[in-house]
Structure 1
Amino acid sequence: MTKKSDTFEIAEMGDVVLQSGATLRGAKLAYKTHGTLNAARDNAVVYPTWYGGQHADNEWLIGAGLALDPARYFIIVPDMLGNGLSSSPSNTPPPYNQGRFPHVTAYDNVKLQHRLVTETFGIETLELVTGWSMGALQAYHWGSMYPDMVKRMLTSCGSARCSPHNFVFLEGVKAALTADAEWKEGFYDKPPARGLRAMGRVYAGWGFSQAFYREKLAITALGYASLEDFLVTFWEGGFLESDANDLLAMLWTWQHGDISANPLYNGDFDLALSRITAKTIVMPGQTDLYFPPEDSQYEVSKMPNAEYRPIPSIWGHQAGGAGLNPVDAKFVNAALVDLLER
């Protein structure tokens, strides 16, 4: 059953047994759609959200004249579990509330998204699955879990599994947040603001490249008054808008992302990649510090219909998402146009 909300919808998923063995009772999957599903039900696109993002944050790539044009496609943007709109630590009742929210995998997310696509909309094939960062992780899962359903796939600044170095980076982010005494093992009465601010400061050194900072693009391109203004407003301010437990829940999902960690592939990563038969463009950022291009090159080498097309940008991880740099946004949109015309 789906119930309407002011700006998005909620799919009631019932009791869902997760890969962790926990049961997420009364699971909810938030989502927003753009455009109209045609009579043949063959114009659908799935565009999952990213770490800390919600469906509205994906809308920079949706619109008239863009590749994801609602006049042509029916675009479904499912909100990741843990993002504050779908079932999350911040909105789940006891006993799985706050710090006791169960561990959720990308596999769990995509299983629910598949139910939404097939049960709510009756869709059997997808024209495209695309995503940035953790959205890319979910897109990879779509391609490997449902290869006969996904016709095309484009991933930007993401990977099919979390690398050891990426895992370590996230341990630093997590440690900065949980060091705040107000965190109280996840059962805080007020937001652990010092930890959230520290998390933003740690993230700042990874989200953009060395060249981005060297060229002072935070000031010249984004309009901040100084580097400190950028760190406080963009990074600290961004994390202060999120619930700490929600961030930690999604972080665990990210750290344990692996398209082969499921009953379909039993840890055989190369096999999981080989089963992605969709026409695919894999787009790492040339200067991405935690999804390096060489990881994407390896993934493409194991996929039968994949093209490696890096984003030539010094905006680091941010090159592939959020539409911050118009040049990068144009590059990503053009790749989508190219792929959709194949």
Structure 2
Amino acid sequence: MTTSGDYQVFEAGDVPLQSGVMFPSMRLAYKTYGSLNARKDNVIVYPTSFSAQHFDTEWLIQPGGILDPERYFIIIPNLFGNGLSSSPSNSDITPFPAINYNDAVAVQRRLLVEQFGIAKIALVYGWSMGGMQAYHWAACHPDMVERAAIVCGSARCSPYNHVFLEGVKAALTTDPNFRDGRFIAKPSAGLRAMGRIYAGWAMSHAFYRDEVWREAGFKSLEDYLAGSWDVAFARRDANDLLAQIGIWQRGDISQCPEFGGDITRALTAIRAHVLLMPGQTDRYFDVRDNEAEIGRLVNAKSAELHPIPSIHGHRAGNPINNPRDRDFIKAEISALLER
């Protein structure tokens, strides 16, 4: 373990990926909150979402909050490709290997076991790509996971979701700074185009119809798009974004080696208490995907589908400035932790 800034780094060594490639000197950045109790059974794993780093999502970790560090030992593992864990921007490996969620969760598990001696996880909580990681945890390591909260996530990347990401990639890589499979300089035009596409998919029809963006102080729709979405991804390395889009598109719990591509087999392997919490108006992690999954969670201790009744689209699952959705999620997670 090494320390960098406000986080630590788990030095995983040379890691064989599911693709057959060996990733040399793989590094997993993580941050912990709260204290591990003597029984080591108060653990919450909270993986990061697309392009996020731990400090982007730690807002819900606070005393009395959705995730309470006074009761739980909370670990945020930074997903590979986010600029802190091994990523194109901090690695000399070219081309950057095709990492998947199975690879990421396997290293996260090593962190818990080797660094902390943890054998049981009270809750894996994740939003979006974090939710997909939570699903992988529950399917691939059912012996460790007591509860899993999948917020605006799914067991695999649906074809519709895949198409959304193809549009994002196309917008980004159309920038003239994309050459020979990677960006040679910051693609300002591509990042802006990516944000404009995201704006249409991430929020709902009703959000724009009712001009909800005015609640944040924006004076016009163009003001909102320019202020919120044109700059949404500008702080991230574009090669990192492409790496994470690849992880997202390859997401599928049935690709854990023991399931052989059988999604039903993967879902029936889950034994945790499972809460599926899609956004009612989420366009790419559609409620219907979770509806199709829940009937196959037959071996779970419990399996409940509670959509977030919100017009904030995908962002309902990360309601930093949205008290109504935040309160809904807090109540649901509180109930889950009591099961």
Normalised to the residue count of structure 2, the TM-score between the two structures is: 0.97
Match of 2:272 in 1: 278
**1:275: how far off?**
1.0
Q: Is the 8 A contact 1:265 1:272 kept in 2?
A: yes
- Residues in 2 aligned to 1:185 and 1:227: alpha-carbon distance in whole angstroms: 36
How do 1:218-233 and structure 2 match up within 5 A? 218-219=213-214, 221-233=215-227
Please state whether the residue corresponding to 2:217 is helix, strand or coil: coil
Q: Does 1:171 align with 2:166?
A: yes
Q: Is the 8 A contact 2:319 2:325 kept in 1?
A: no
- Residues in 1 aligned to 2:311 and 2:59: alpha-carbon distance in whole angstroms: 20
- Residues in 1 aligned to 2:223 and 2:108: alpha-carbon distance in whole angstroms: 39
- Residues in 1 aligned to 2:244 and 2:319: alpha-carbon distance in whole angstroms: 18
**1:180: how far off?**
0.7
**1:322: how far off?**
4.6
The one of 111, 117, 121 equivalent to 2:112 is 117
Match of 2:64 in 1: 65
Q: Is the 8 A contact 1:61 1:333 kept in 2?
A: no
**1:225: how far off?**
2.6
Match of 1:192 in 2: 187
**1:23: how far off?**
1.6
Structure 1 unmatched runs, 5+: none
Q: Does 1:269 align with 2:268?
A: no
**1:69: how far off?**
0.9
Q: Is the 8 A contact 1:156 1:320 kept in 2?
A: yes
Normalised to the residue count of structure 1, the TM-score between the two structures is: 0.96
- Residues in 2 aligned to 1:187 and 1:134: alpha-carbon distance in whole angstroms: 23
Q: Does 1:338 align with 2:335?
A: yes
- Residues in 1 aligned to 2:58 and 2:22: alpha-carbon distance in whole angstroms: 32
**1:186: how far off?**
4.3
Q: Does 1:153 align with 2:152?
A: no
Match of 1:294 in 2: 288
**1:60: how far off?**
2.0
Task: Decide which moves more: 224-233 or 12-21.
Answer: 224-233
**1:6: how far off?**
2.1
Match of 2:252 in 1: 258
- Residues in 1 aligned to 2:319 and 2:243: alpha-carbon distance in whole angstroms: 21
CA RMSD of the aligned region, Å? 1.1
Q: Encode CA deviations 1:30-74: one digit per residue, 9 max, x unaligned.
A: 001000001111111000000011111221211011131111100
Letter aligned with residue 99 of structure 2: V
- Residues in 2 aligned to 1:185 and 1:214: alpha-carbon distance in whole angstroms: 41
Q: Does 1:328 align with 2:322?
A: no
Please state whether the residue corresponding to 1:238 is helix, strand or coil: coil
Match of 1:6 in 2: 5
Structure 2 unmatched runs, 5+: none
The one of 302, 306, 311 equivalent to 2:308 is 311
How do 1:4-153 and structure 2 match up within 5 A? 4-93=3-92, 96-97=93-94, 100-153=95-148
Q: Encode CA deviations 1:202-248: one digit per residue, 9 max, x unaligned.
A: 111000001001111112x2222321122122112111111111000
- Residues in 1 aligned to 2:234 and 2:281: alpha-carbon distance in whole angstroms: 27
Q: Size of the alignment, in residue pairs?
A: 336
Letter aligned with residue 278 of structure 2: P
- Residues in 2 aligned to 1:20 and 1:271: alpha-carbon distance in whole angstroms: 21
Show structure 1 runs of 4+ deviating over 6 A.
Answer: none
Identity over aligned pairs, percent: 52
